[in-house]
Structure 1
Amino acid sequence: MTVDFYGWLVYHILVIQIKDIDILKGGNVLKNINLLELKKIDTTKVACTLLDALIGLTDVMHIHLKSIACAYVINKMQTTMQYSNMEEFIEKADLSNDQKEIISQNAFDCWDIIVSNLSKFTSFELLAFILFNNPLLGGKNGSMSTPSELLNLALSILNIKDTDEVLELCSGKGNFIVEATTNGCISNYTGIELNITEIMIAKLRASIIKENYNYILHDALDYRLDKKADKIFANYPFMMRSPAINSYKKQLEKTTNLPKDIIRRASSDWLFNLSIMDQLKKDGKAVVLMTYGSTWNNTDEKIRQYFIESGYIESVVSLAPRLFEEMSIPVSLVVLSHNNKSVRLVDAKNLFKSERKKNILTQENINDILGMLDKDSELSTTKTIKELSENEFVLNASRYFEVLPTIENGVAFGTVIKNITRGSQLRASDLDEYKSSIPTNFKYLMLSNINDGVIALDNEDQYLKEIPEKLEKYCIKNNMIVLSKTGMPAFKSAVAQIDDKTKVVANGNLFVIELDENKINPFFIQAFFASNVGEMSLKSIYTGAAIPTITLDKLKKMIIPLPTLKEQEHIAQKYAAAMDELILLNRKVVKTKNRMKHIFEEEE
C-alpha cells in the first residue's frame, strides 16, 4: 500500500495534464513531464547497478555513455512490447536512425544486463538518470561538465526567448540545453562538439526532451553556422595547447584584420571568444566561462584591449574557486555583446557554499550576482574603456577594489634599482650534481631558507662543490635584496649579508635586486617590505588567485617611500638591530630544542 501511494504521488507530481500516455511507456519526447521535479530524483541506485554491471565491458572513457544507452533501452523495454534480442529491439522499437546507431554501438553487447534489470527501476528514475549527471559518473569519461548552478546563472543572464536561435560551442553531453529546457527556456538550439562520445549522450538526451535539437560533430573553433545566433553559451576547454590552435591562429591571420602579434600571443580562451563574436547577432548576447588568468595576465593584454575597445565585453564576474569538481582554480564568467562603452566587473570570489568535494553557488548567491550585474555595489563596479586602459585592460574585479596604501615622498621602485634579475632556473638533476656533502664556500639559496626577513645559509643541503661559470651571474652580493616571486602563503624578502669568501646562487623563484645605495638603504627597503604598508603594496601588484605572482614590470612600477638618507638610516639601524636580536633568539630556540631531545637519554 505504501509503495502504491508513493507511485501515485510521484506520478501526479511529475505529470502535468497528461495528454499522451505513451510518454510514460517508452515514448520519445517528454512533452508533459515536470523536469524540475524529475531532476530531484535520486538516481544513485540506477548508477550503482549499471556501473557494477558494466565494469569490465568498457573503459572509463565510455562507461557513462554505455550506462545511459542501457538505461535508455531498459526504459523502452519496461513499458512496451518485449523483444527476444537486441537485433529485434533495434529493428522494431520506435527509434530514430541516430538512436539506432548509438544503441547499436554502445548497448548491443549488454542485452543480458538490460534484461536482468527490467522492472528494477521506475521510468522516472531511468529518465532522471539519462537526463541529469549523476555524481558517481562525474568525471568518468575524462571530461569536465558545467555545474548545474553555473548553467542556471548563465541562463538567467541570457534570458532565452522561444524564438531565439541558440548556439552552444563545446556542447558536451547536452547539460546546458537540458537545464534550459528544465527551466522552460525552449528555443531553436544547435550544439557543436568534437567528442563523439559526448555528442552521443547529448543526442539521447535530446531525443527525450525535444527531438529537433540539433547537434553537429565538429571542431567548435572553426565551424560556422549559416546564420548568426541570438544567444550563445560556451564552456570551452581551458588554455588549450595543440597543433589545432596554432593552425587556427594562422587561419585568423589570413581571414581577419587583427595584427599578427595579437593573434599569436592570444590564449585559446580568447580565440574561442573571437569565434563567438563572429557568430553573434548585433543585438545578441553570449555567456562564456573562461580561465581566471586570461582576464589579467600579460600574455592576453593585447587581445583584451581589442575586445574592450571593440565594445565586445559587457561584464565579467570573478567566481569562486572549486566550483568544478574536476579542478580547484577559480574561473570567470564573461558576458559578450556588441557596442559596450563600459564594462561592469563583479567580485564574486567569496560567494559560495562549501561542500565536501567542491564549492557550490546557492540560489541566494546567484541572485546576488545577478543584482550586482544590474548595478554597482560594494563588490561590483563599472569601468570605462579609458579606466581599463590605465590598468593594462585587466578584467579582474578585485584589481579595482584594492585599497592602496598612502605613501609619502613616493617614487617608483625601479628608480632606485641598479640591477634586477631572476635567480637560476636550475633543474633538480643539475642541482644534485653540484651538491656537496661537506661544507664549502659555495651555497644555493632557496625560498625555504628565507624566514622572517632572515636568510639561513648554514643548512647541510645548501652546499655546492662549485659554482659553474654559467651560474656566476645569479650570485647574490652583499646588501642585495632577495624577494620571492610568488606569495604562497606570503611574499618573502631579506637583505643578503654575504662575506667576500662566500658565493651564493639564488633559486629561480627569487628576484635578486641590487639597489643604488646612494639613493636608498637596503635595510630601510626591507623594513618597508616587512611592514603592514609594505605587505599591502606587494599585494596590490601581484596577479593570480591560485598562486599570487609578482611580475618584473609591476615590481619596478610599485611605489615605495623615499625619505632622506638620514631618515632612512635611522629606520635601517632599528630594523637591523631587531633582525640581529631575532637571529640570536632563533639560535637559542635551536639549542633549547636540541637539549630537549636528549633529556630522556641523559636521565637513563
Structure 2
Amino acid sequence: MSFSPEQTSRIMIAKDLDHIEPSSGMGVDANLAAYAAFLLIEKGLDRHDIDHEQYLSVVGDHQLDPILRDRFVTDSDGSFESAALRLCSSSYTTDELRDFVLHYNVDEDRNFGLRRELTTPEPIRTLALAVLDCHDGERLYDACCGAGSFLVDAIERTPDIRTYGVDVSKDAACLAVARMSLLPGDRPIAFGDVFHRPALGTYDKVFINPPFGMKLPFMRNPGADYLAPFVEESDPMGRPASADWVFARLAYDSLAEGGTAVAIVTNGALGNGGDQRARRYFVENGMLRAVVALPTRLFRSTALGCALLVLGRNDGPVRMVDASDLADEGRRWNSLSDEAVSEIVGRIGAGGPMSRLAERADIASRGYSLYASRYLGQAPDLVNPRPLGDLTLAIERGAGFSARELDTLTTEEDTGLFYVRLSDIEDGAISDDLPNLTSLNDKTERQWLRTGDLVISKNGAPFKVAVADVPEGRTILANGNLYVIRLDTELVDPYFVAAFLASEDGKRSLEQMVVGTTIPNLPLRNLRQIQIPVPPADVQRRAAEGYRARLDEISVLKIRIRKAREAAAGAYDEAVGR
C-alpha cells in the first residue's frame, strides 16, 4: 500500500505521540498536542528553547476558546506539555501539524486499540455529503458532531458553507473546536446536550450520527424541553423503544423550509415493534424521503447493520434503496469506494433492481417496516392470495426453556413426552429421534403439536418448515424458536401451505416479512401478514400429494445414505475378514 506525503506525515507524528494516548483513553490528545505545537510555532517562539512560562502564555491566551485553555493548562504530570514541546523541536512544518490536527483520527488508525468512536467513518461521511449536496452560503448543522471530522470534510468540499456543531463529549468537542479554529470563518462548536434548547427550523442541511444503543430513560437531561414530550409520551410520535428516532426527529425539526437531513440509524430501528409508531409518524407526516440499507462493518466499534435516512418534506412515495451489495470488503472492516458512493446517489435518484419507490399504503401494509430489501424484487404472482392469519385457527409460539431447565427435564427413558427443537427439523420433516421429557406442565398445552399443525422457525434464513405427524400416545412440545400454526383445513391443506413456503415464491414471501439483517427474525405480526395462495381444493391436493411424495423420497434416500455410510466404514474389515 502506498501513502501520500500527508498520510506519511500523519503516521510519523502519531508514532511520535503514541506515548501520550493512554492518558486520555478518548483518542484526542495527539491531535491537541499537535495543535498546541502549531500555536507555539505560529507565535514565533524559538522552537528549540520554549520554557514553561512561554508555553502557558500561548495555550492560556484569553483569545483561545475556554474549552481549549482548560484542556491545555490541566496537565497534572506535564506529559501533554512535554509532547507539544517535543513536536516543536522536531522538523515537522506548521502545514504538517495543521494537517495532522484536521485529518488524523485515532479511531481510524489500525495501529491503536479501539477506543470510543468519536468520528463518523470516512465512507459514511463521504456518502452523507454526497447526498446532502451542500452549497456555498447554506447552513450546515452536525448534531453529535464528535471530533468534527464531518464538518472538516464539508468545509474542504464547500469552503463558503456556514457550519455549526454540538457534542456532549468534552474531549470530542475540544478537538472539534481546535479543528474549526484552523479553518476560515466563524465556525461555532458547542459542548453540551444536543437536546438542550436546540435551534429548530434553522438549518438548510443537517447531519446526525448519534451514539448507538441509546434508550430514552437513560439519556442525559431526560427532562429537557425537547425530550420531555417523548419521555412523557405526549408527542404524537410516542415514546420510541430506541432513541434513533428521537435523534432523527431532532434532525428533521432543525431544518428550515425545503431543507434536507441525513440520519444514521441501526437496522433494529427500521423494523422492531417498539419503534413502529415512530416510523408511522415519519411516513404518514411526509418527513421521510429515502431509506438506504448500508453494507455491514462500516463502523469499527460495532458489527451492527445500519441505514441512512434521507429526511425532508416529502408528499410522495419513499425511495427504498439497498446498497448492501456495494461494500469494498476489508479483512476486519469494510469501506465504500468513490464509485460505490456515486452508485448509491444514483440509486436514490432513480429506480432499478436495487431501488424503488414505496407508496405509503404499501409501507403501512408491511407494518411500517423500513427494511429496503422487503420492497425490492418482483413480488410473487399468487392465485387468490390471503394473509396467513386469515387461514388459521391459532398461532402459538413454542415454550421457552433455559438450558438448565432442559437439563432437569430431559431423560433417556421413553416417557411418551417429547420436545422438538429447531435442529430437529430438516428437509421438511420433524425427526423421529426427539429428546424425552420427564413431565409436561398442562399450562404448555397450547404449544403441544397436533397432527396437521404447521411448524415454522422464528429465525432464519432459510426458514425451516414442517407439518407435524404425531403418533398416537405421544405428546410433542415445540420450543420457543418455533411457531405452531393450526390451519383451518376447510380453507387450506397444511401440506399445500408447506409446499408453497418451500418454493421460491414462498421463500421470497417469507424474506419480505423478516426484520433484522444479522439474524433474520420473523415477528408474529409479520407472520400473520404473509400472503398465501388459496387455489381450488383440487389444485391444493395435487400440490400436497406431490410434496408429501418428495418428502417420502428424501426419507428413503436418507436411509440408503446411512446404510451406504455404514457399509463404507466396514469395507476394510470385510476385506480382511474381520
Structure 1 length normalisation: TM-score? Answer: 0.83
Counterparts of 1:523 and 1:255, CA distance in 2: 47
The residue number in structure 2 matching 1:89 is 55
Counterparts of 1:344 and 1:579, CA distance in 2: 42
Counterparts of 1:345 and 1:556, CA distance in 2: 23
Query: Are 1:510 and 2:485 matched, yes or no?
Result: no
How far off is 1:552 after superposition?
2.2
How far off is 1:275 after superposition?
1.8
User: Is the 1:320–1:350 contact (alpha carbons within 8 Å) kept by the matching residues of 2?
Assistant: yes
User: Is the 1:253–1:263 contact (alpha carbons within 8 Å) kept by the matching residues of 2?
Assistant: no
Equivalent of residue 33 in structure 2, options 70, 95, 110: 70
Q: Which structure 2 residues correspond to residues 284-303 of structure 1 after superposition, within 5 A?
A: 284-303=259-278
The residue number in structure 2 matching 1:430 is 405
Query: Are 1:554 and 2:529 matched, yes or no?
Result: no
How far off is 1:254 after superposition?
4.8
Counterparts of 2:54 and 2:414, CA distance in 1: 81
The residue number in structure 2 matching 1:522 is 494
SS in 1 for 2:395: strand
The residue number in structure 1 matching 2:332 is 357
Query: Are 1:50 and 2:24 matched, yes or no?
Result: no
How far off is 1:385 after superposition?
4.1
The residue number in structure 2 matching 1:499 is 471
The residue number in structure 2 matching 1:130 is 101
Q: Which structure 2 residues correspond to residues 172-321 of structure 1 after superposition, within 5 A?
A: 172-210=146-184, 212-225=186-199, 228-245=202-219, 247=222, 254=229, 262-265=237-240, 267-321=242-296
Q: Which structure 2 residues correspond to residues 330-349 of structure 1 after superposition, within 5 A?
A: 330-338=305-313, 340-349=315-324
Equivalent of residue 543 in structure 2, options 564, 571, 590: 571
Query: Are 1:170 and 2:141 matched, yes or no?
Result: no
Counterparts of 2:259 and 2:308, CA distance in 1: 17
Structure 2 length normalisation: TM-score? Answer: 0.86
User: Is the 1:169–1:191 contact (alpha carbons within 8 Å) kept by the matching residues of 2?
Assistant: yes
SS in 2 for 1:100: helix
How far off is 1:236 after superposition?
0.9
Which amino acid in structure 2 is aligned with residue 220 of structure 1? V
The residue number in structure 1 matching 2:126 is 152
Which amino acid in structure 2 is aligned with residue 418 of structure 1? L
SS in 2 for 1:267: coil
User: Is the 1:493–1:526 contact (alpha carbons within 8 Å) kept by the matching residues of 2?
Assistant: yes
Counterparts of 2:112 and 2:131, CA distance in 1: 26
SS in 1 for 2:207: strand
Query: Are 1:452 and 2:424 matched, yes or no?
Result: no
SS in 2 for 1:518: coil
Which amino acid in structure 2 is aligned with residue 433 of structure 1? T
CA deviation profile, 1:92-112 (whole Å, cap 9, x unmatched) = 458524433222336832455
SS in 2 for 1:167: strand
* Deviation larger for 580-589 or 386-395: 386-395
Which amino acid in structure 2 is aligned with residue 90 of structure 1? L
How far off is 1:176 after superposition?
0.8
The residue number in structure 2 matching 1:108 is 78
How far off is 1:231 after superposition?
2.0
Counterparts of 1:290 and 1:182, CA distance in 2: 26
User: Is the 1:481–1:514 contact (alpha carbons within 8 Å) kept by the matching residues of 2?
Assistant: yes
How far off is 1:283 after superposition?
2.9
How far off is 1:273 after superposition?
2.0
How far off is 1:482 after superposition?
0.8
Which amino acid in structure 1 is aligned with residue 389 of structure 2? G
User: Is the 1:266–1:303 contact (alpha carbons within 8 Å) kept by the matching residues of 2?
Assistant: no
* Deviation larger for 448-457 or 307-316: 307-316
Counterparts of 2:59 and 2:234, CA distance in 1: 56
User: Is the 1:180–1:186 contact (alpha carbons within 8 Å) kept by the matching residues of 2?
Assistant: no
Counterparts of 1:418 and 1:163, CA distance in 2: 62
Counterparts of 1:66 and 1:179, CA distance in 2: 21
Equivalent of residue 437 in structure 2, options 464, 475, 499: 464
Counterparts of 1:384 and 1:569, CA distance in 2: 37
Counterparts of 1:256 and 1:507, CA distance in 2: 36
Which amino acid in structure 1 is aligned with residue 71 of structure 2? I
SS in 2 for 1:299: helix
How far off is 1:227 after superposition?
7.4
Which amino acid in structure 2 is aligned with residue 407 of structure 1? L
CA deviation profile, 1:354-405 (whole Å, cap 9, x unmatched) = 2222222211122222233333344333344455445444444333323122
Counterparts of 2:506 and 2:317, CA distance in 1: 32
User: Is the 2:200–2:254 contact (alpha carbons within 8 Å) kept by the matching residues of 1?
Assistant: no
User: Is the 2:60–2:72 contact (alpha carbons within 8 Å) kept by the matching residues of 1?
Assistant: no
How far off is 1:230 after superposition?
2.3
Counterparts of 2:562 and 2:568, CA distance in 1: 10
Q: 1:186 to 1:500 in 2, by over 3 A?
A: farther
Unmatched 5+ residue regions in structure 2? none
Q: 1:510 to 1:222 in 2, by over 3 A?
A: farther
Which amino acid in structure 2 is aligned with residue 58 of structure 1? S
CA deviation profile, 1:521-554 (whole Å, cap 9, x unmatched) = 3222222222222222222322332222223233
Residue identity (%): 27
How far off is 1:223 after superposition?
3.5
Counterparts of 2:195 and 2:432, CA distance in 1: 53
User: Is the 1:288–1:334 contact (alpha carbons within 8 Å) kept by the matching residues of 2?
Assistant: yes
SS in 2 for 1:43: helix
User: Is the 1:78–1:119 contact (alpha carbons within 8 Å) kept by the matching residues of 2?
Assistant: no
Q: Which structure 2 residues correspond to residues 366-405 of structure 1 after superposition, within 5 A?
A: 366-405=341-380
User: Is the 1:161–1:185 contact (alpha carbons within 8 Å) kept by the matching residues of 2?
Assistant: no
SS in 2 for 1:346: strand
CA deviation profile, 1:126-155 (whole Å, cap 9, x unmatched) = 433322224237773322631222212222
Counterparts of 2:131 and 2:35, CA distance in 1: 33
Q: 1:273 to 1:196 in 2, by over 3 A?
A: same
Q: Which structure 2 residues correspond to residues 7-18 of structure 1 after superposition, within 5 A?
A: none
User: Is the 2:409–2:439 contact (alpha carbons within 8 Å) kept by the matching residues of 1?
Assistant: yes
Which amino acid in structure 1 is aligned with residue 90 of structure 2? S
CA deviation profile, 1:107-126 (whole Å, cap 9, x unmatched) = 83245555556426554544
Q: 1:384 to 1:517 in 2, by over 3 A?
A: closer
SS in 2 for 1:444: strand
Counterparts of 2:517 and 2:159, CA distance in 1: 34
Which amino acid in structure 2 is aligned with residue 130 of structure 1? V
Counterparts of 2:32 and 2:118, CA distance in 1: 20
The residue number in structure 1 matching 2:458 is 485
Which amino acid in structure 1 is aligned with residue 429 of structure 2? V
Which amino acid in structure 1 is aligned with residue 517 of structure 2? A
